[in-house]
Amino acid sequence: MSPNSTLAPFAIRKGSAPRRQLRGNARYAPTFATLGLFLAMFAVGAGMYPSFLSGQVFLNLFIDNTFLIVLAVGMTFVILTGGIDLSVGAVVALSMMVAATLLQQGWNPAAVIVLVLLIGSTLGLAMGLIIHHFEIQPFIVTLAGMFLARGLCYVISLDSIPVTEGFFTGMAQAQIPLPGDLFVSPGVILALAIVAAAFFVLHHTRFGRTVYAIGGNENSAMLMGLPVRTTKVLVYALSGFCSAVAGILFSFYSLSGYSLAAQGMELDAIAAVVIGGTLLTGGTGYVLGSVVGVLVLGIVQTFIAYDGTLSSWWTKIVIGALLLAFILLQRLFTRKTT
Amino acid sequence: MTSLLKHRLAWPVIALAALLLLNQLFRPDFLALRMQDGHLYGSLIDIMRNGAPTILIALGMTLVIATRGIDLSVGAVVAIAGAASCAYIAASPEPGSPATALTAVLIAVVAGLAVGAWNGFLVATIGVQPIIATLVLMTAGRGIAQLITGGQIISVTNDGYKAIGAGYLFTLPVSILITAAVFVLAAGLTRRTALGTLIEAVGINPVASRLAGLRSRNIVWIVYVFSAVCAAFAGLMISSNVTAADANNAGLYIEMDAILAVVIGGTSLAGGRYTLTGTVVGAFIIQTLTTTVYTLGIPPEVTLVFKALVVITVCLLQAPKARKLFARVKAPARPAATEPAKEEVAL
Amino acid sequence: MNEIVPVVEMTDISIGFPGVKALDGVGFRLYQGEVHALMGENGAGKSTLIKALTGVYTIDSGTITVLGENKRFSAPAESQAAGISTVYQEVNLCPNLTVEENILLGREPRRRGSIDWKGVRSRAREVLAELHLEHVDPGSLLSSHSIAVQQLIAIARSVEVSAKVLILDEPTSSLDAGEVAQLFGVIRQLRDSGVAILFVSHFLEQVYEISDRMTVLRNGKLVGEYLTRDLSRMSLISKMIGKELEALAELDEAPARTRTRSEEGSTPFLETEGIGRKGSVANVDLSIHPGEVLGLAGLLGAGRTEIARLLFGADKADAGLIRIKGNERKIRSPRAAIDRRIAFCSEDRKKEGLIGDLSVRDNLVLAMQASKGWARRIPRRTQDELVAEYIEALDIRPANPDALIKNLSGGNQQKVLLARWLVTHPELLILDEPTRGIDIGAKTQIQKLVNRLAAEGMSVLFISSELEEVLRVSDRIAVIKDREKVAEINNDGVCAEDVMAVIAGGTQ
């Protein structure tokens, strides 16, 4: 050994690096677990109720949850950066209220939709800016955003406002036929288009990769010269935009605006993302996983509807239990590597 | 020490005083108290009585936040506590007897203990982030409450039970007395024992606390249990006040009000030093704000928007970044208090 | 050399933090094709200077020119755009992404707005090949590689941008000799291709091996700029420390230890047999007798702290056994260790010691209070007596029990932390770098205190990077190298060179 190298410090053995991320194929494990769960639930449903095993029952999972799929897409972006957005449910309600009110006053539906999308995105952008510039935890800022949006709903009206406008009712009733006597709603196509766009953005653009990098190690991402600030702010704007789209889709679905609508929907969205395999600490997860997460939530509701003896509150309890199970699963996967 | 206290509580107290004065200007009898049938009446009493559940929950929340945690499940606990006690009273053979009322209270408290122990288990033992851990029961808890009530609003007729939220004792509403008792208990428990200091130690530096031999797990458990029990009492008050359990709406958004009260009172969401007195003042501010909205003739629907703006403002004022800006504007000579990024300098 | 325009020229740079002037009118020049070492003790301003150059901190005054152009960086991205790349000690990459992404993140080749993943793969392969890292699979996760490889991947990232300036901040602190050689090969290759390299390291020999010139800083001020071959090791050290060599020698006299040699055959207070922890340290045998000071010598990162943490239960040992007073005991947590009368002062005061927002009083009685449990508060009068006693005994200033500990100086903070443990009357006191970053007066006081405690019968495990200090206070010295104990030396007449020789002598 040369005299120079004797002063070298010593090797840290392989495997001693601190790791908070899932390794190798373990990355996909939670998502596959969810997919397996979904298939198992579908199989059980088919075993219990013969009519369960039909293409339409499967498609209905999409038709009944278009808004939740879109919400989960936005939430996936936010959670991937390690943040959280509690305002989404309230923004959905606000979007519905604004849409219903303006349509009642005879606005052009296209103008209404544009305005609603603008309001949602602006709210999200504002929250992102506050989170970033004042370094306040996302949950408290989005909590305030939730207050604000819900409060604005109350200000608009305390009563439910029906939507009778032609385009919206048309969308509510429209069915796009598929081979084999099946059909989907136009909302499903829109939601899936958004999912595809999100997939592309996350996996094939620099913005998307920056989202992952921030979740992996924000400080590193900053030191690597990535546009951390812009990305973090945009992620909340994106979530606000998705909430507004979800609001429009929910309006198609329910044909009304009500200030108490979409209560607790932020929890459903978070649950779908977590069940879909995205780590709450950020950096790992897939938008397609979130879609499967929504389908799992949807199938729980379908079960309860099919059963008939079970009441609606079981949905909440089961979602809570699933959320818990997947959080514990995440702990299990990450504990070994922390 | 006195200057510190002044600094911490000065702004909340001034804000509260200003709000009260504003009301007095619009309604000259606002601050007046009057005796009637041996009961005290007046707007101040109303504010205290209506604010009691929020204060209770905010007291628990303060300690949770001091340990760097958050408890989102309190609203659900309110619903569960109300549902469990009312369901018990409605189903008991003697729905009007004091013994039944007492058992109902006991059931609610046990429910609170169970929820608190569960949250504490998830946070302290399993190590789940507090927001997420309590999110589970925030989601499932209301479902459980609905399960208990069968989705119905359960009305009960029991004088003993009704007294908790609507009764009077020594000229004062019982709910105010209960809240005062819990405040004294919490303040006494944390300051007479070492609990307060240890809670702050865990909140300020959990790593150092562990290395000093602190069993932070126990401390964290205690605060979540305390928070849930406070929420259970609040649930009793709310359901007793209307002598009914409404699993859907009881305690809806109360977690937000409680967090707001804690933040306005001057306890930082980052954990560490806390002030229970500040929290009480904070809760009064929120309640007075609600009253003010009525007094000024503003439609009550606007209250939520108001609250949202207050949260944002207070958070901005607490944020180190904003403080720095503020300090620069006010007194350019004084160095900024702390600047997180630069604290890391190796010196 | 001076006719050429420097790649980077920093003139009269000042940066202040509340209460501290981190850099005071410092100048610095870096030329193309040189390896330039930035030298100085901890706190001299090295990392502040680097952070000014990389845009992490904004300078208060002075000028920075890059290739003759005036620059003012306010974000890392701006510095990188100017051709400055940095590889930090704690690898600043994203562990959740693949190697190729980490190399190309933010600069991925694109086709019509979409990342060209094939292009990413081939570009990453090229860059890895340039650094002789062909064996690294570009598609593998970063976290699946050792720190050394991660460091090289970080360098690959800066090679990819064909950086003009490469800053290496303590790049070798977790590499073994072979890995250091590989790294140096890469550094020379880059230097020869015309990159200006700024190298920061604690390891003198490495600095002498790799650098062409050096700039020495002390207390935020510039000491001077030297050619490495013109500056002897001893004069470099005296410039870093700011004392003449004779003064250094004098300093070493310090308090003489009255040795209380432990009797052969007596039961040690603590004895370990082959304790270890996966990925940390392996197979460590130690024994400490009552009244004995055992020193742990070894380089930074050799595994000294890791051993201390195992003994204290801060990390759980997964091999070997620990005997306390002859009985086998499991130490699963700090709490368990404290119950066995073991105390531990961490090397990281701020993160692992201080409760910054609490008072001196609260900090001082914390361990004692934690042992009593929350329900039994130490009466105020007892607290006052204890605090007054230790403020007096350890000369803690300001002598105000209600001062917030974060406002005390480093030396006084350390004394409070020592007092925190002394009030619990431990039988074994583990001190990890107790004198790091504190002034010389406080340092001597602490050394004397260790002496006295041992004389009173306490066992002390003393860890320090300063060999002289270890020699001064210890009865025996265990030499730690490569995360194992390699030798044990009785401290009778040995000098620093002897211990150094043991460390240098390779694994026995």
Whether residue A102 lies inside any domain: the answer is yes
Residues 259-278, chain B, touching A (beta carbon < 8 A): 259, 263, 269
Q: A 269-298 residues with CB below 8 A of C? A: 283-284
Look at residue C115 and tell me if it is in a domain: no
More confident residue, B347 or C37: C37
Residue C187 sits in the same domain as residue C282: no
Which residues lie across from C196 on neighbouring strands? C165
The SS3 assignment for B196 reads: helix
Chain-wide mean pLDDT for chain C? 81
Range of weakest confidence among A16-20, C22-26, C490-494: A16-20
Q: In the listed set C205, C220, C250, which residue is the last one of a domain according to the structure?
A: C250
Q: Total structural domains in chain C?
A: 2
Nearest chain C Cα distance for residue B214, angstroms:
5
CB contact under 8 A, C20 and B211: no
Q: What is the mean pLDDT of residues A53-80?
A: 90
Does the residue C105 lie in any domain?
no
Delineate the domains of chain B, giving CATH numbers in brackets: 23-330 (1.10.3470)
Q: Is the pLDDT of residue C263 over 70?
A: no
> Which pLDDT value is given to residue A26?
58
Residue C156's pLDDT is what? 86
Q: Which among A5, A21, A213 has the least Cβ separation from residue C143? A: A21
| Subunit contact A151:B306, Cβ cutoff 8 A | yes
Query: According to the model, what pLDDT value does residue C248 have?
Result: 45
Question: Are C368 and C441 in a shared domain?
Answer: yes
ω into C426 cis (within 30 of 0): no
Nearest to B304 among A151, A312, A321 (CB): A151
B323 touches chain C (CB under 8 A): no
Whether pLDDT at A154 is above 50: yes
- B336 versus C251: the higher-pLDDT residue is C251
Is the pLDDT assigned to residue C264 strictly greater than 80?
A: no
> Is residue B335 over pLDDT 50?
no
Per-residue pLDDT reduced to its tens digit, B66-91: 998 889 889 889 999 988 888 888 88
Pick from A176-180, B333-337, C194-198, C371-375 the range whose average pLDDT is largest: C194-198
Q: How many domains does chain A have?
A: 1
- CB contact (8 A) between residue C351 and residue B211: no
Between C42 and A131, the more confident residue is A131
Task: Kindly state whether residues C297 and C171 are assigned to the same domain.
Answer: no
Pairing of strands C69-71, C61-66: antiparallel
CA distance B132 to chain C (A): 22
CATH number at residue C404: 3.40.50.300
Q: Tell me: do C246 and C323 sit in the same domain.
A: no
pTM assigned to the model: 0.79
What is the pLDDT of chain A when averaged over all its residues? 83
Residue in C43, C47, C371 nearest the CB of B213: C371
Is pLDDT at A25 greater than 60 in this prediction? no
Assess if residue A336 is contained within a domain: no
Q: Which of A1, A10, A224 is the closest to C483 by Cβ?
A: A10
In a domain, C415, yes or no: yes
Q: Could you report the per-residue pLDDT of C9-39, keeping only the tens digit for each? A: 888 888 887 666 788 888 888 888 889 998 8
Q: Is C259 within a domain? A: no
Kindly report, residue by residue over C298-352, the tens digit of the pLDDT. Answer: 766 677 888 888 888 888 888 888 888 888 888 888 888 888 888 898 888 888 8
Confidence of residue B59 (pLDDT cuts 50, 70, 90): very high
Q: Do C147 and A227 touch (CB under 8 A)?
A: no
Q: Which residue did the predictor score with more confidence, A141 or C3?
A: A141
What pLDDT, on the 0 to 100 scale, is given for residue A225?
81
User: Quick check: A316 pLDDT over 90?
Assistant: no
Give me the residue from A4, A22, A224 closest to C105, CB to CB: A224
B122 compared with A6, residue with greater pLDDT: B122
Which tens digit of pLDDT belongs to each residue from B159-169? 777 777 777 77
Within 8 A of A143 by CB-CB distance, chain B residues are 256, 259, 311
Q: Region C247-253: what's the mean pLDDT?
A: 46
Say what the pLDDT of residue C8 is.
Answer: 87
The answer to the question of residue C261 being in a domain is no
If asked whether residues C175 and C285 sit together in one domain, one would say no
- Mean pLDDT is lowest, of B304-308, B329-333, C73-77, C449-453, for B329-333
Mean pLDDT of the region C203-212: 82
pLDDT score for B299: 73
CB contact under 8 A, B301 and A141: no
Task: Give whichever of A71-85, B265-279, C9-23, C281-295 has the largest mean pLDDT.
Answer: A71-85
For the stretch B138-160, pLDDT in tens is 878 888 888 887 777 777 777 77
Task: Name the closest residue on chain C to residue B214, using Cα atoms.
Answer: C370
| A215: chain C residues, CB-CB within 8 Å | 96
Mutate which: A127, A130, A140, vs B, most B CBs within 10 A: A140
- Residues C62, C189, single domain; the answer is yes
Q: Is residue C108 part of a domain?
A: no
Same domain, C236 and C318: no
Using pLDDT thresholds of 50, 70 and 90, give the confidence band for residue A21: very low
Taking an 8 Å cut-off on Cβ atoms, the answer to whether A320 and B340 are in contact is no
pLDDT in tens, A193-232: 999 999 999 998 989 999 999 998 888 888 888 888 899 9
- Is position C260 within any domain? no
Higher-scoring residue by pLDDT: C66, B37: C66
Q: Provide the shortest C-alpha distance from residue C282 to chain A (in Å).
A: 11
Residue B171: pLDDT band (50, 70, 90) is confident
- In this complex, do A323 and B259 lie within 8 Å of one another by their Cβ atoms? no
With respect to residue A17, please indicate whether it lies within any of the assigned structural domains: no
- pLDDT, chain B, mean: 79
Please indicate whether, in this complex, the C-beta atoms of B315 and A264 are within 8 angstroms of each other. Answer: no
Kindly identify which residue of chain B lies nearest to residue C220, measuring between CA atoms: B347
Per CB-CB distance under 8 Å, the chain B contacts of C362 are 197, 201
Domain span at C396:
270-504
* Per-residue pLDDT, C250: 45
CB contact under 8 A, A9 and C108: no
B to C CB pairs, distance under 8 Å: 104
Which of the two residues, C420 and A315, has the higher pLDDT score?
Answer: C420
**C120: pLDDT strictly greater than 60:** yes
Residue that is last in its domain, among C250, C283, C307: C250
How confident is the model over B322-332, as a mean pLDDT? 54
Same domain, yes or no: C388 and C489: yes
Look at A225 and C88 and tell me if their CB atoms are within 8 Å: no
Rounded CA separation C276/C482 (Å):
13
Percentage of residues in chain C having pLDDT higher than 70: 88
pLDDT at A178 over 90: no
Q: Is the pLDDT of residue C195 over 50?
A: yes
Q: Find the closest chain A residue to C81 by CA distance.
A: A225
Residue A1 has pLDDT above 80, yes or no: no
**Residue B289: pLDDT above 60?**
yes
C236 in the same domain as C282:
no
- Tell me the ipTM for this assembly: 0.78
What are the chain C neighbours of A21 within 8 Å (beta carbons)?
95-96, 141, 143
Is the residue at C15 inside a domain?
A: yes
Question: What's residue B74's pLDDT?
Answer: 92
Closest-CA distance, A317 to chain C, in angstroms, reads 33
pLDDT tens digit string along A181-192? 888 888 899 999
Let me know whether C371 and C442 are in one domain: yes
pLDDT tens-digit readout, B33-58:
777 777 777 777 788 888 889 999 99
Nearest partner of C215 among C198, C203, C235, judged by Cα: C198
Q: Is C59 helix (H, G, I), strand (E, B) or coil?
A: coil
Which of A4, A24, A216 faces C97 most closely, judged by CB atoms? A216
* Domain around A272: 23-330
pLDDT band at residue C279 using 50, 70 and 90 as cut-offs: low
The nearest alpha carbon in chain C to A14 belongs to: C146
Of residues A76 and A143, the one with the higher pLDDT is A76
d(CA B213, nearest CA chain C) in Å: 4
Q: CA of C143 to nearest chain A CA: how many angstroms apart? A: 7
Residue B8, CA distances (Å) to B16, B62, B273, C123 in order: 14, 15, 10, 57
- Please check the confidence at residue C506 and state whether its pLDDT lies above 70: no
Distance from CA of C357 to the nearest CA of B (A): 7
Q: Looking at residue A240, which CATH number applies to its domain?
A: 1.10.3470
3-state DSSP of chain A: CCCCHHHCCCCCCCCCCCCCCCCHHHHCHHHHHHHHHHHHHHHHHHHHCHHHCCHHHHHHHHHCCHHHHHHHHHHHHHHHCCCCCCCHHHHHHHHHHHHHHHHHCCCCHHHHHHHHHHHHHHHHHHHHHHHHHHCCCHHHHHHHHHHHHHHHHHHHCCCCEECCCHHHHHHHHCCEEECCCEEECHHHHHHHHHHHHHHHHHHHCHHHHHHHHHHHCHHHHHHCCCCHHHHHHHHHHHHHHHHHHHHHHHHHHHCEECCCCCCCHHHHHHHHHHHCCCCCCCCCCCHHHHHHHHHHHHHHHHHHHHHCCCCCHHHHHHHHHHHHHHHHHHHHHHHCCC
pLDDT at C44: 76
Residues C279 and C211 in one domain: no
Check CB contact under 8 Å for B194 and C377. Answer: yes
